Amino acid sequence: VGAQPSIIARAERVTNGLEHLWQLAGADARTRGVSRFAFTSQDMAARRWFQNEAEAGGLFTEIDPFGNILAWTEPPVDGCPAVAAGSHLDSIPNGGNYDGALGALCALEAVRSIHESGLRQRRPLVAIGFAAEESIRYGIGCLGSAALVGTLEPDELLALTDGEGITLRQALLGAGLLPENVARARRAPGWANAFLEVHIDQGPELNEMGLPLGVVTAIAGPVRHWVTFLGEAMHSGAAPMRSRHDALAGAAEWVVKIESLGQAFAPHRVVTTVGNVEAHPGLMTVVPGKARVAVDVRGPDRTQTWAVWDMIWTEAQEIGRRRGLALSKQLVFELEPVRASTVMIDLLSNQCRELRIPFQEMPSGSGHDAMNLARQMDAGMLFVRNRSGVSHNPLEYSAPEDIDAALQVLTRALWQLASVV
């Protein structure tokens, strides 16, 4: 089954849609940054617009109890797994206009163009605009897709609280959703058997290599620890240098070591980050008696990621011994890396080859909704070149020709998936 010439997916509708979403977000005039946090009025305006666009395209829409929008070519039928595509509509504070929105709009355009072609595919197609993917508001990412596959306990989920003390329960109510129905966002296994997500490349790789597209092989899993160095708080004037056990100085030595271990393992695509350090008591006139350090290690291979963490921890112990500091560690969070389905890697690669679009296979360093969908079905991702090389930044940018390349590959892949029984 090949893509039919009568399916016309228009990249212009995607770029116009991105422009429209940017305006709806009331983007910062100076930085051009978008701030569309989950379940805020800006987010809900974007969601309403997405739903209206889908309906204008003749799709049948559904808002699930967590606020995910599903736009179907036809109502889902039991026993006939759907083919899904999508990404998220929310953003970080002062973020870019492509992260999430690009994939949601490509999914909508691909599904809409297949629907408008009048060709009959064998399976229902569905474009999804996920809710609450960014972890910025509630500390956990990919909430909408987690609600959809049912991996989070509704009670835990609803009790999550944002920086202003607003619980997720309250945020859902504010957005016109009924928190008591959240468990019903979960879809029974078998509701769909394939998921594809287009996403802007969040690093410089495709841009540096001069390639428009990347086919994602795996999504890196993070291993996150808080580590505490315990020394002795002393008077900064009276304590002689030789008798100090400065917890912060030990932590500082360690932070630089963590960076160099990350550099050493860069060829294995492991990255190491210290995102936060707290010094106690945090006074200018007291030698810090305690320092807490937040360490995030990620890589596409779990064994390797843990091996790097073990080296980092060994370094901490060495520093602790030398400086007379006690140490404790606490694992805060771990997510296993997710491998993309080989079926999807092959499908996307073949479409790129047939369309003569240069691409490379690559892992994703950041998390995506596709990770959650991969628990229920074959899932794959397509990265689009980011001309600025940075993401979570207003400067992120995908050129119209690269968006068109991704859209054509996605549309053909979805058509193929929906055409087989």
Residues making contact with Zn ion (CB under 5 A): 99-100
Smallest distance, Å, CB 396 to Zn ion? 10
Smallest distance, Å, CB 403 to Zn ion? 15
d(CA 267, CA 155): 41
Smallest distance, Å, CB 278 to Zn ion? 29
User: Phi/psi zone of residue 190: left (φ > 0), alpha (ψ -120 to 50 degrees), beta?
Assistant: left
Burial class from Cβ neighbours inside 10 Å (0-12, 13-18, 19+) for residue 257 reads middle
Residue 407 or 418: the one with the smaller Cβ distance to Zn ion is 407
Residue 65 or 100: the one with the smaller Cβ distance to Zn ion is 100
Smallest distance, Å, CB 104 to Zn ion? 10
How does strand 286-287 pair with strand 234-235?
antiparallel
In the chain, % helix, strand, coil (3-state, to 5) comes to: 40, 25, 35
- 330 contact partners, CB below 8 Å, separation of at least 6: 225, 226, 227, 228
Residue 95 or 289: the one with the smaller Cβ distance to Zn ion is 95
d(CA 50, CA 56): 10
Residue 17 or 81: the one with the smaller Cβ distance to Zn ion is 17
| Cα dihedral 24/406/39/222 (nearest 10) | -140
What backbone phi and psi angles, to 5 degrees, belong to 364?
-100, 130
What backbone phi and psi angles, to 5 degrees, belong to 266?
-55, -40
Residue 100 or 250: the one with the smaller Cβ distance to Zn ion is 100
d(CA 375, CA 373): 5
Residue 43 or 99: the one with the smaller Cβ distance to Zn ion is 99
Residue 144 or 179: the one with the smaller Cβ distance to Zn ion is 144
Beta-strand ranges (E) seen in 13-106 are: 60-63, 69-72, 82-88
Residue 100 or 154: the one with the smaller Cβ distance to Zn ion is 100
153 DSSP assignment: -
Smallest distance, Å, CB 374 to Zn ion? 16
CA distances from 130 to 61, 107, 240, 248, 390 (A): 13, 11, 58, 41, 23
Smallest distance, Å, CB 88 to Zn ion? 6
Smallest distance, Å, CB 407 to Zn ion? 17
Residue 27 or 371: the one with the smaller Cβ distance to Zn ion is 371
3-state secondary structure of 88: strand
Q: Which amino acid is at 31?
A: T
Smallest distance, Å, CB 27 to Zn ion? 17
Beta-strand ranges (E) seen in 13-148 are: 60-63, 69-72, 82-88, 125-130
Smallest distance, Å, CB 248 to Zn ion? 35
